[in-house]
């Protein structure tokens, strides 16, 4: 039946309930989904950023898992907790470190100063702070010759580009002996396109010396050497324009200026 205005029984058009485009529900759901996608993207970017970041995150996760297991008040884990605690504090000689970390006054020590971290590192690595570091020992110049290039920025003799030189170059006749700058153990003997024949010696407590561009290397990996022992001869292998020995001193993973070290300063 057609709708006629004023008709008493006439059907009326249904009144529609108004809708609002700014409803709080959809806004909250959209915001949560955007936040979730953002977190996923950030997490993926952090994970893919570098191998070191991934290893650090995995190590942190393992540490938190072990710590949580040791702290969990579950009778079923009592035996496992006891075994893990024994291995960490006895077999791996971490007793002093764990006691230091879990001591009641750790917070006060942290507030007092950052010196706690070197002390913890000494405990974890077994270093005796009362013993002098190899970095404080008197180094020997590994080759009898002339220092032609020092530590720092310089024009590269091969490419001509300015780059950072992480050691010193000692010019000498080909075949001149290269000797160990300090007592230590041969860490590696390798050959590369840049350094040619290269040998590294570990002197302990994070101190390593490197000798590159050798004609030949007479020492072998694992050999103990004394200061002044011959380990090779001067050459020009790798990127070298003349016979010389490239000499580096590396402390805790960072190169240091050899000419600032005791025994070499002032040369």
Last residue of a domain, one of 107, 125, 143: 125
In this structure, the answer to whether residues 145 and 115 fall within a common structural domain is no
Does one domain contain both 191 and 160? Answer: yes
Mean pLDDT calculated for residue range 10-35 = 55
Domain boundary among 85, 107, 125: 125
Residue 99 has pLDDT above 80, yes or no: no
Residue 30: count other Cβ atoms within 10 Å of its Cβ. 10
**Pair 187, 163 in one domain:** yes
For the chain, the average pLDDT equals 76
Q: Which pLDDT score is estimated for 213?
A: 96
Please check the confidence at residue 114 and state whether its pLDDT lies above 90: no
The pLDDT, as a whole number, for residue 84 is 61
For CA atoms 193, 195, 201, 204, the dihedral sign is negative
Are both 224 and 141 inside the same structural domain? yes
pTM: 0.54
Claim to verify: residue 105 and residue 154 sit in the same structural domain: no
> Given 83, 98, 125, which residue is the final one in a domain?
125
236: number of Cβ within 10 Å: 15
Band (221; pLDDT cuts 50, 70, 90): very high
Does the pLDDT at position 2 exceed 60?
Answer: no
In a domain, 158, yes or no: yes
Give the bridge partners for 202, in sequence order: 185, 208
Residues 57 and 110 in one domain: yes
The answer to whether position 28 is within a domain reads: no
Give the per-residue SS3 of the chain: CCCCCCCCCCCCCCCCCCCCCCCHHHHHHHHHHHHHHHHHHHHHHHHHHCHHHHHHHHHHHHHHHHHHHHHCCCHHHHHHHHHHHHHHHHHCCCHHHHHHHCCCCHHHHHHHCCCHHHHHHHHHHCCCCCCCCHHHCCCCCCCCCEEEECCEEEECCCCCCEEEECCEEEECCCCCEEECCCCEEEEEEEEECCCEEEEEEEEECCEEEEEEEEEEECCCCCCEECCCCEEEEEECCCCCCCCEEEEEEEECCEEECHHHCCCCCCC
- What is the domain range of residue 105? 52-125
Q: What span, in angstroms and rounded, lies between the C-alpha atoms of 68 and 58?
A: 15
Reported confidence tier of residue 215, pLDDT bands at 50, 70, 90: very high
Same domain for 78 and 102? yes
Q: How many domains does the chain have?
A: 2
Same domain, 158 and 253: yes
């Amino acid at each position: 039946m057609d709708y006629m205005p004023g008709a008493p029984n006439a059907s009326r058009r249904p009144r529609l309930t108004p809708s609002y485009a700014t409803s709080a529900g959809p806004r909250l759901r959209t915001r949560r989904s955007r936040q979730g996608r953002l977190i996923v993207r950030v997490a993926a970017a952090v994970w893919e950023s570098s191998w070191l970041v991934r290893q650090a995150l995995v190590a942190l996760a393992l540490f938190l898992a072990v710590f949580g297991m040791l702290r969990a008040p579950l009778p079923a884990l009592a035996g496992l907790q006891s075994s893990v605690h024994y291995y960490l504090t006895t077999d791996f000689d971490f007793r002093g470190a764990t006691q230091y970390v879990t001591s009641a006054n750790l917070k006060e020590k942290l507030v007092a100063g950052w010196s706690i971290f070197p002390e913890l590192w000494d405990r974890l690595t077994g270093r005796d702070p009362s013993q002098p570091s190899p970095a404080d020992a008197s180094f020997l110049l590994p080759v009898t010759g002339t220092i032609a290039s020092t530590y720092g920025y310089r024009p590269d003799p091969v490419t001509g580009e300015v780059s950072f030189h992480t050691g010193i170059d000692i010019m000498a006749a080909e075949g001149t002996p290269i000797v160990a700058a300090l007592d230590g153990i041969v860490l590696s003997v390798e050959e590369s396109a840049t350094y040619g024949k290269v040998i590294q010696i570990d002197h302990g407590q994070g101190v390593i010396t490197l000798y590159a561009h050798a004609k030949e290397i007479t020492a072998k990996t694992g050999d103990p050497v004394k200061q002044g022992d011959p380990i090779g001869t001067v050459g020009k292998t790798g990127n070298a324009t003349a016979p010389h020995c490239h000499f580096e001193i590396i402390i805790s993973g960072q190169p240091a200026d050899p000419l600032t070290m005791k025994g070499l300063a002032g040369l």
